[in-house]
Structures are given as structure tokens and as C-alpha cells.
Amino acid sequence: MSEITLAELSELLLECVGAPEEGTSLDSDDALDTPFLDFGYDSLALLQVTGLITRRHGIVLSDDAVMEAETPRLLLNMIKDAPGAGAVR
């Protein structure tokens, strides 16, 4: 059982909604505290990626909680603390 990492989140975002804005990257630890909007990902993008996380890992986040996750670090922490997170494979 492992946590969803920044690298996996980046891959899921790429799969769901495409690459981040030109000149930005989710490939560094600096990206953890960069607002999703700086990458070009809006609330709909986050809802799409969390839907995929729910389908693949069984981790369910409320839409309201997802809207509060302004950065990758906040979203990853919500995912880690969510019910079912211990079942991530």
C-alpha cells in the first residue's frame, strides 16, 4: 500500500486534462505549493482527476474538499487522509 505521489498526480492530470501550461511543470518539489491555476488546471480539472482517483483507488473526496485544494500539496494531503486511502495499491 502506497500513497499517491506528486509524480502519479502529475500523470493523472496529464491523462485527464492534458499537459500543464507551457513553462510550468509538476515534476519538482517546488510544484507542491504552486497553485493549480498557475499550471492551467481549474476546478473542473481537479474534479476529473479526483474522479479517476476514486475509480482506480477507491478514495472518495467531496467536491467541496476538492475545491479547497488550491495546490498539489493540499490535494495530496486530502487524498492521504481520506477514507479508503490505506487501500491504495
| pLDDT given for residue 2 in this prediction | 58
Chain-centroid distance of CA 42 in Å reads: 12
Rg (CA), the chain: 12
For residue 89, what pLDDT band results from cuts at 50, 70 and 90? very low
The 10s digit of each residue's pLDDT in 26-65 is 988 889 999 999 999 999 999 999 999 999 999 999 999 9
Candidates 55, 56, 77, 75; CA nearest to 66 is 75
DSSP state of 27: S
Whole-model pTM: value is 0.87
Structural domains of the chain, ranges and CATH numbers in brackets? 6-87 (1.10.1200.10)
The 10s digit of each residue's pLDDT in 11-29 is 999 999 999 999 899 988 8
Q: How many CB atoms lie within 10 A of CB 48?
A: 16
